[in-house]
Structure formats: C-alpha cells, structure tokens
Amino acid sequence: MNAPDQGRLEADLAAPRIKRLEAVNDFVIKFANVNGSGSASANELFARSILRMGVPVSPRNIFPSNIQGLPTWYEVRVTEQGYLGRRGGVDLMVAMNPQTWDKDIKEIEPGGYLLYDSTKSLLPSKFRTDIHVIGVPLTEIATTKFADPKERQLLKNIMYVGVLCAMLGIEPEVIAQLLGEQYKGKDRLIQPNLEAFTIGMQHGRDLRDALGLRVERRNAVGDRIFIEGNAAAALGCVYGGATVCAWYPITPSSSLAEAFQKYCSKYRVDAATGRNRFAIVQAEDELASIGIVIGAGWNGARAFTATSGPGISLMNEFIGLAYFAEIPATIIDVQRGGPSTGMPTRTQQSDVLACAYASHGDTKHVLLFPEDPHECFEFAAAALDLADRLQTPIFVLSDLDIGMNHRLCAPLKWDETRRLDRGKVLQADKLDASKRFFGRYLDVDGDGIPWRTLPGTHPTKGAYFTRGTTKDAYARYSEAGPDYVYNMERLLKKFATAKKLVPQPIVRRAAQRTSFGVIYYGSTSPAMSEALGALEARGVHMDRLRVRAFPFPDSVAQFIAEHDTVFVVEQNRDSQLRSLLVNELEVDPARLVPVLHYDGTPITARFIVQAIAERAVGSRASGVGSLRAVAGGQDRTRNSGGD
C-alpha cells in the first residue's frame, strides 16, 4: 500500500466521527468490474466460498449487452437468515472500474467500506468522508509478480478475492478446493491462481482490522442446491418428456436451450446404438422456432421453445394457430426489459399481457409463474403435461433474475411413479370400438377439451384436416356463425377447466386480522418474503397471496374480496398483473394498489417496505377511501431508477 493510502486508512481507523458497520454473516458486497476482464469467474468463486462455509448467499450478475468493455457488476447478499432477495444498499464495494467510480461510491451505506486498486493515487475529492477506504495496489503487485499481460489481469481478480478472504475470515482451504474443481483437467492453471490468491491473502491479513464484516462457518445451507433457473427449467423439460427443442438465440434464454442439449446428450442417447433420442434445432428465427414446435406437437412429440419478449412478438401468428387449431406447445419466456430491443441483460416481468393474450383475435393462454429454480424445474415439466392435456400453448414466465443467476433452492425431485399426462388421445382400438363419427373439436365430456388423434393412428378412421380457419366440430371448413361461436365458447370452457389444473396460489395469513392484502408473483417472491417480515415489525400486518398461474383460480378473487386494500407488487411499468386481475376478475380497480419497480434491477426488500408502509400507515390515519383515491389517480407507487 502506498503512503497516501496508508495514511487515509490510518485516519479512517482513528476517526471516531465515522461510524463503522459491524456484521457477521449478514452484509452485501458488490463488485464493480469491466465486462470481458475475466472477473466473473473470480466473483463467483468468492460467492461459492461463502456457501461452502455453510452460509447462504444470493448472488446477482448485472452485465451489459456487449461482449466486453462496458461496466458489469456482481452483487453478493450474504445472509445467515437465508434471505435470497436483494436487500438494497451496499456494505462493501470492490471498485475495479474507473468508469463507474462515482456511481459505485454513492451506493455504499454510511459507515460501509470501499476496497479499490490504489496503484494510482486519487484526489481526496473522489472519496466520501462517511465510509472507510481500503486501498491495495493490485495492478502494481500483479505487474511485479506475473510477466504475461493477459495473465496479470485475470490473476489480479484472484488477488482481490484473496484480500477479501483474509479480511472476512473465509477459510483458504475452501478456495483451494474450489480452484481445484474449477480447473479440473487444466492443472497448469491451478498453481498460478493459487499463487495469486496467496499473495492477496498476505496483503489482506495486514488489513483485517480495517473491516468490520466477518464470515463465520455455519450449517445454514442444509440440503439446498445452488443452480440457475435456466438449467433447472432445462432439466424439467428432460424429465417432463420433451424430445424436441427448437430455438433461436436470444438473451436471457439461450442458456436454457444449451443446457437442454447438454442434459439430452447425457441422458437421451441410446446406449446400444449411440443414436440421439432427441432433436434440437436452432432455427433461422423465432417464428420458425415456434413453427417447428407446433409441427412436432401436432405429430405427437413433446416440444418446447425458449425465448424472450422480442421472440414472443415474432411468434404471435403461429401462437394463434396453435390456440385455434388446438395443438400442444410449450413456450418458456425468460423475460427481460422491453419494449423493442429494450434492456437485453436486465430483468423485468414485462411480458405478462403479451403472453396472456398473444396473437390477434380473441385468445387467452395459460401462464405459469415460477418463483425460483425449483419451480422452474417443476413448472417446465408441468407445462408439457398441461399442453397435452389442454391441447394448447402453455407459457412458463421466468425472467433474467431467476434464469441467469445462481439461486439456493430446494433439491429438484422427481416421482419415479409419475406418468406423462398425454391428455385425450384416441388410439386405434378406441376408434374401432366407437359408434360415433370422430369429431376433432366435439366437446363430448363437457370440459371444453376435445379428443384428438395422432397421425398414422388408424388407416381409415380418426383423420381430420388441421386448419387455422373456422371449422365445425368435425374439423370441416365452415364460415357459419354458429360453428364459429361454438368453438370460441368451447375454448372459453376449456380455459375455465384449466383453472383447476394449473398450480394453485399460495396464501399465508398475517399474525392478526387485517384489511390489507398483497399479491405478488415470480421473482418478486424472495424480496417480498423479507419485506413482509420488516413490515410486520413496523406494525403493518398483511395477508399474502402468491399467484402461480393464469387463469386465476377462484381463490384469487376470494382473497381480493376479503380485503379493503390489496397491493399488487410487480416489476413492470404498466401494472400488467393488476390489469389482468381487473380484466379477468372484474374487481374494483381502486381496491388494487400497484407497487411497481422497473429499472431493470431486481426489486429490493427496502423498496417494497417503503412503498407499502407509506400507504398502509396513511390509510390507517385517514381511512381506506383516501388510499383508494390515491391508487386511482396519478400518485402510483413506482420506481423508475434505483432504490
């Protein structure tokens, strides 16, 4: 450490006017790097090391849409209590990017810490007076120790991991083990990385007293696994019986199709012949992708595509065909910020309405809202069942926060006695035994779901013409109004049947009776769980309902009716779930108060607490009527740029 920085550190330690954050296994650390600098693997190594010590972590990678050169951040929530949502604020900033220095410094909590590369001296005006500054000349050390310029940059990242491990008390043996696993089969890389880590540790030991944050070994992880939502969804497709995947690369869904290919190559290859028992097609665009999926579904295969918002826009015409011709298809939409190209590498719950009513004309589609990788696995498999059972497109609405970030979740389990639900499919013997002429779109069971046949089932019976135009119950072309109305009303009946088949909402009651309720879904769930505890501590008690699917089961309307005020928390600008609730359940819009966060970063517990507490406390003082008036006017709880 050079003299000016050593002096600043000594001043920090001696100055009583600066408060000092002190915490064990409960803090937020954020890394500010340059994309393409090799920092991602080092930052993930750091997060995994704390996890290996039995302390839950929740990391989030915030990266640009270019390959290299722009800013990137990696935020790690360390939380022995197991909170997996973003808290808001940063306790320790590792600032390695001069481009974003000023912005990064602002995020640090008063009394928090700044770790930076002090090779080049900075003016005092570049620092805040209410935080503790720790400088380590990382570039200077790397230049001295390592000759290769490219190697220096990569190993500099490992050095700051070493510094942090020494200051925080992370066991070096854990890092050594992780490096061995990371570079298994590339043994020549292990030694220089261990050397860089050890160098960082040596400098970090001298600075241990400068940091009031600590990591101590615990046993708080349990049997939970650490996995990305996209990988979990891909496994769900494998276990759910998907044999066809057609896709076009688009952030943030590409890794889902790639994971499916990896798992199929391991589990779907005939051991005797070596032949693949799967088909994966990277099509020329998203429209072609969904066309392939629909063709495979019509032919009896279980098929899916993975995409994001722009892909949904392109797929609309074929989605309408699958809805009206009643062909199974599963669409996994890993949502990102829109519209247009929008924010390709930022998260939002932005496609709820686009998917619910996809295509022109009157359509309504089944949506599933997973909250974490465990539900990505479950819902991907369930979507394939539902697509066959209901003979229609099924959407799984994940998002970038779930899909591309590692998350602790319950182990992925599969019931080996479970059988795939292929729905109403007539085999040849049933066709021979039936005295009724086969009607492809005939509602014989009263649930709106017709029977279907697959190509080649019978040489003379069960054939029909699949069309996107109007038809009668026997699949014959018809422009007669009654035939059109019959099919459209039957499709509504089928949609009503779906309410009992989709994952049901989860309701939890407050500790005491309350007139307040809150509805939320998807990736909002982790922050919501923490926020509700904080609100209760403030005396704001709320019943909660997590929506897991659309169409909404009857219990959702019942929940709303039980409360004077229901907050609807979501991550988009236009209150898309709230709009769906109002439109489908015909509830008083003033009863539903939108809480909106849409700057592209995952919602935080602090934001939710602040947004709800202000209105809940205000309503107790002035009555629910005024709260409803606020909700119906322009003063809506929203966030459009930070916490």
| Domain harbouring 65, CATH code | 3.40.920.10
- 113: pLDDT strictly greater than 90: yes
Point out the domain boundary residue: 473, 502, 531: 502
CA nearest neighbour of 372 among 412, 337, 343, 342:
412
Residue 418, in any domain of the structure: no
- Does 83 share its domain with 33? yes
Residue 76, in any domain of the structure: yes
Residue type, 27: F
Structure confidence at residue 224 (pLDDT): 97
- 568: pLDDT strictly greater than 90: yes
- 102: pLDDT strictly greater than 80: yes
- Does 513 share its domain with 481? no
- Does 70 share its domain with 182? yes
Backbone φ and ψ for 201, nearest 5 degrees, come out as -60, -40
- 191: pLDDT strictly greater than 80: yes
Q: What number is the average pLDDT over the span 444-464? A: 96
Structure confidence at residue 614 (pLDDT): 84
- Does 25 share its domain with 157? yes
Distance CA 326, CA 294 (A): 10
Residue 219, in any domain of the structure: no
| pLDDT tens string 423-433 | 999 999 999 99
In residues, how long is the chain?
643
Distance CA 237, CA 230 (A): 11
Distance CA 350, CA 372 (A): 17
Residue 200 is classified by DSSP as: H
> Do 169 and 214 meet the contact criterion of CB atoms below 8 Å apart?
yes
- Does 69 share its domain with 175? yes
Structure confidence at residue 512 (pLDDT): 94
Residue 373 is classified by DSSP as: H
Residue 20, in any domain of the structure: yes
- Does 65 share its domain with 182? yes
Residue 109, in any domain of the structure: yes
- 640: pLDDT strictly greater than 60: no
Structure confidence at residue 619 (pLDDT): 61
The pair of structure tokens assigned to 249 is 């690369």
- Name the residue with tokens 């890394």: 31
Least confident of 262-266, 332-336, 630-634: 630-634
| pLDDT tens string 117-142 | 999 999 999 999 999 999 999 999 99
**What pTM, to 2 d.p., does this model score?**
0.93
- Does 472 share its domain with 579? no
Across the chain, mean pLDDT equals 92
DSSP conformation letters of 73-109: EEEEEEETT---SB-SSEEEEEE--GGGHHHHHHTEE
CA nearest neighbour of 390 among 450, 431, 304, 439:
450
- Does 542 share its domain with 479? no
Edge-first strand order for the sheet with 393-399 is 279-282, 244-247, 303-307, 329-335, 393-399, 366-368, 549-550
**Strands 406-409 and 225-228, sheet pairing:** antiparallel
Residue 567, in any domain of the structure: yes
| Domain harbouring 268, CATH code | 3.40.50.970
DSSP conformation letters of 275-334: -BS-EEEE-SSHHHHHHHHHHHHHTT--EEEEE-HHHHHHHHHHHHHHHHHT--EEEEEE
- 252: pLDDT strictly greater than 90: yes
- Does 166 share its domain with 101? yes
- Does 122 share its domain with 95? yes
User: For residue 283, what pLDDT band results from cuts at 50, 70 and 90?
Assistant: very high
Give, to the nearest 10 degrees, the angle between helix 149-168 and helix 172-182: 140
> Do 381 and 240 meet the contact criterion of CB atoms below 8 Å apart?
yes
Point out the domain boundary residue: 383, 409, 435: 409
Structure confidence at residue 7 (pLDDT): 40
Q: How far is CA 308 from the centre of its chain?
A: 12
> Do 404 and 228 meet the contact criterion of CB atoms below 8 Å apart?
yes
Distance CA 125, CA 626 (A): 46
- Name the residue with tokens 């022109």: 360
Least confident of 307-311, 386-390, 514-518, 638-642: 638-642
Q: What's the number of CA atoms in the CB half-sphere (13 Å) around residue 142?
A: 25
- 627: pLDDT strictly greater than 80: no
- 636: pLDDT strictly greater than 50: no
Distance CA 180, CA 171 (A): 15
Structure confidence at residue 67 (pLDDT): 67
Distance CA 14, CA 27 (A): 23
Q: What share of the chain is helix, strand, coil (3-state, %, to 5)?
A: 40, 20, 40
| Domain harbouring 605, CATH code | 3.40.50.920
Residue 415, in any domain of the structure: no
Distances (CA, A) of 91 to 96, 132, 178, 541, 601: 16, 10, 25, 29, 18
Structure confidence at residue 618 (pLDDT): 65
- Does 434 share its domain with 521? no
CA dihedral (487, 488, 491, 492) in degrees, to 10, reads -140
| pLDDT tens string 588-607 | 999 999 999 999 999 999 99
Apex 385 CA angle, 380 and 387, nearest 5: 90
Structure confidence at residue 631 (pLDDT): 32
> Do 380 and 233 meet the contact criterion of CB atoms below 8 Å apart?
yes
CA nearest neighbour of 513 among 563, 565, 567:
563
H/E stretch holding 407 reads strand 406-409
Point out the domain boundary residue: 441, 470, 502: 502
- Name the residue with tokens 């974490």: 372
Number of domains in the chain: 4
- Does 352 share its domain with 440? no
The pair of structure tokens assigned to 48 is 């995994």
Coil vs helix vs strand at 213? strand
> Do 593 and 568 meet the contact criterion of CB atoms below 8 Å apart?
yes
- 151: pLDDT strictly greater than 90: no
> Do 386 and 240 meet the contact criterion of CB atoms below 8 Å apart?
no
Residue type, 111: G
Which domain range does residue 379 map to? 227-409
Residue 221, in any domain of the structure: no
Q: What number is the average pLDDT over the span 532-558? A: 97
Buried b vs exposed e over 250-269: b needs ≥16 C-beta within 10 Å?
A: bbbbbbbbbbbbebbeeebe
> Do 24 and 143 meet the contact criterion of CB atoms below 8 Å apart?
no
Tell me how crowded residue 637 is: count the other CB atoms within 10 A of its CB. Answer: 20
| pLDDT tens string 503-535 | 999 999 999 999 999 999 999 999 999 999 999
